[in-house]
Amino acid sequence: MSLSGPIALSPAPLTDPAGARPEPVQAVTILMATRNGAANLVAQLDSFVAQAHPPAQVIVSDDGSDDATVAILTRFGADHPGLGLRIIAGPQRGAAANFLHLLKALPADCGIIAFADQDDVWLPDKLARGVRALRDVPAGCPALVGGRSYVCDAQLGRRRLSRMAPDMPSFRHALVQNFAGGNTMMLNAAAARLLRAAAPEAGRIVMHDWWAYQIVSGAGGAVIFDRAPLVLYRQHGGNQIGANAGPGAALRRLGWLLKGRFRRWNAINLRALEASAHRLTPDNRAVLRDFALMQRAGLIRRMALLRRLGLFRSGISGRLSLWMAVLLGRV
C-alpha cells in the first residue's frame, strides 16, 4: 500500500488465508492514565489480559489517586509479571496533561502504543485489529488508527454504536473536530516517536487524542478509521468529555459553542500546534497560519478563509455548528 497522507480503513478480517506465513509479533505498549478509578479498573485490566494480541507492556501514570487504584494496579502487575506493568507519578494537572506525561516517559525505541482509559472494557480483538491496520503503513510514516465504540451506561448496558468518522480524515478536519475516541486509538512506532518529541513542546492541550490526530495528520501521516467497534465506552458522572452521540450531546456542544468554549479550545490547540509547527508539512503550516488568522478576522474575511481552507466537521449538526461558529466569531 502506498501512502502519501491520511486514509480511511474498512474492517479487515483477522484470520490469514490458509497456508499464509505467520506474521512477526509486534510489541504493543499500553499507556493508561488513572485517577481514583478503582470502581471500574479491574474490568479494564482484565480486558487487557483477554486480548487476542497480548500487550507487551503497560505503563500507567497515576494522577494522585487516594482510593484503591494504585493497590489494584500493583496487585495486577504482580499477578501478570509478563506484562511488565510500570506505574509512574502523574503531574496532577488533568487527564490531557497526564497522557502527555506518559508520552514523554516513552523510551526512544518504543513500538506500537495504545491509549487506554481507566474505566472502559476493550473488546478482545482491539489490539489485533489495530496491529493489522498499521502493518501495511510504510516504515517511517507516522500512522494513527482509531475506531468506533459501543457507548454504554455505567453497568455496560444499553449499548449503542458511536458515530462514524469522516470519509477522509485530514488536518483540515482535525483542526475543528476529532475523528475517534482516544480509548480506541493506536499509533505505530513512527507516530509514537513523533508525539514523544512533540509532547514537551505542547504545553497545555485540550484533549490528548484530538492533539494526537492534529499532529499526525498535520505531519502528513496516515490516519486510519476502523468501522468496527473496539471498546465498551462506559458513561458515568466522572467522564472527562463523554460520548459525542445523540441529541443531548449535540445540544450540549451547541451550548459550548455559544458560550465560547469551542473558541477557547481552538486557541489552546493553536498554541500547542504553533509550538510544533516545524513538524508539520509546509502546506499544513500554511493552513495553520490561516486558521489562526480566522480567530482575529472580521466576518467577511472569516467566511472567505473557511471556504478557501476547506475546513469541515462530519455530520449535518457538525457542519451547521462550524458555520455558526464562523458567523458568530466563535471559531
Each residue's pLDDT tens digit, 89-136: 999 999 999 999 999 999 888 899 999 999 999 999 999 999 999 999
In a domain, 18, yes or no: no
Angle CA 301–171–141, to nearest 5: 150
Same domain, residue pair 169 and 195: yes
In a domain, 9, yes or no: no
pLDDT number for residue 2: 34
Q: Taking residues 239-250, report their average pLDDT.
A: 53
In a domain, 239, yes or no: no
Could you tell me which residues are beta bridge partners of residue 223? 144
Give pTM, 2 decimals: 0.88
User: What is the separation of C-alpha 92 from the centre of its chain, rounded to a whole number of angstroms?
Assistant: 20
Of 234, 269, 303, at which residue does a domain stop? 234
Q: Taking residues 22-47, report their average pLDDT.
A: 90
Q: Mean of the per-residue pLDDT values for the chain? A: 88
Q: Which has the closest alpha carbon to 114: 92, 88, 133?
A: 133
Same domain, residue pair 75 and 221: yes
Coil, helix or strand for 60? strand
Same domain, residue pair 223 and 268: no
H/E stretch holding 148 reads: strand 143-152
Give the separation between CA 12 and CA 147, rounded to whole angstroms: 12
Q: Would you say the C-alpha torsion 274, 219, 320, 236 has a positive or negative sign?
A: negative
Tell me the pLDDT tens digit for each residue of 268-281: 999 999 999 999 99
Return the residue matching grid coordinates 493506536: 186
Of 234, 255, 286, at which residue does a domain stop? 234
If one compares 151 and 261, the residue with the highest pLDDT of the two is: 151
Coil, helix or strand for 57? strand
Q: Does the pLDDT at position 165 exceed 80? A: no
* Full residue range of the structural domain in which residue 207 is found: 28-234
The number of domains in the chain is: 2
Q: Would strands 222-234 and 143-152 be described as parallel, antiparallel, or unpaired?
A: parallel
Same domain, residue pair 147 and 92: yes
**Residue 1, class by beta-carbon neighbours within 10 Å (0-12 exposed, 13-18 middle, 19+ buried)?**
exposed
